[in-house]
Amino acid sequence: MAALDRFCPDLAEWPRSWQGEDSDVIVGQNIVELLKPFLYELLRQQFADKTLRRHRDHIWMLGGEAIRRRHDDPELSKQPVETLIFNLIEEEGGPLIWPRITESEQNSFDATCRKLFRFLNQGKAT
């Protein structure tokens, strides 16, 4: 836990940072809970600090994008958080970020999303 606190000292604040309306905070907290095991896995892999920070920042971006898309698409707002995240990421990467980021930044974000996709799908194949 202490390692995660050092890695993501503001993790508890992520839901408020993504908030567009009050109900987003609960959804954001659920997103954080879903993504925490992945953050622990990143720490376990002992990446360089710069790599860890990059992945952490991309996970934060993904959470914000999930909340934004819930507002843009009423169907997404009805989905459980796990389904929402699974629908945003895929084997090839993540969603296009808005406002637009550079191609290089998007490629880096996609690398994190691919890693998350593999992590979340471990053991799901029967």
- Answer whether residue 102 is part of any domain: yes
Calpha distance 63→68 (Å, rounded): 9
| 61 and 105 Cβ atoms separated by less than 8 Å | no
The pLDDT of residue 123: 60
| 42 and 54 Cβ atoms separated by less than 8 Å | no
Instruction: Look at the chain and report how many structural domains it folds into.
Output: 1
pLDDT at residue 124 tops 70 = no
Burial grade of 97 (CB within 10 A; 0-12, 13-18, 19 or more): middle
- Answer whether residue 85 is part of any domain: yes
pLDDT at residue 4 tops 80 = yes
What b/e sequence results for 47-78 when a residue is b if at least 16 CB atoms lie within 10 Å of its CB, and e otherwise?
Answer: eeeeebebbbebbbbbbbbbbbbbeeeeebee
pLDDT at residue 126 tops 90 = no
The pLDDT of residue 38: 97
The parent domain of residue 111 ranges over: 11-121
The pLDDT of residue 125: 54
- Answer whether residue 2 is part of any domain: no
- Answer whether residue 4 is part of any domain: no
Query: 94 pLDDT band (50/70/90 cuts)?
Result: very high
Q: What is the dihedral of CA 62, 64, 69, 72, to 10 degrees?
A: -160
| 11 and 29 Cβ atoms separated by less than 8 Å | no
Amino acid in the structure at residue 114: R
Give the tens place of pLDDT for each residue, 7-65: 999 999 999 999 999 999 999 999 999 999 999 999 999 999 999 999 999 999 999 99
The pLDDT of residue 26: 97
Calpha distance 43→22 (Å, rounded): 31
Query: 98 pLDDT band (50/70/90 cuts)?
Result: confident
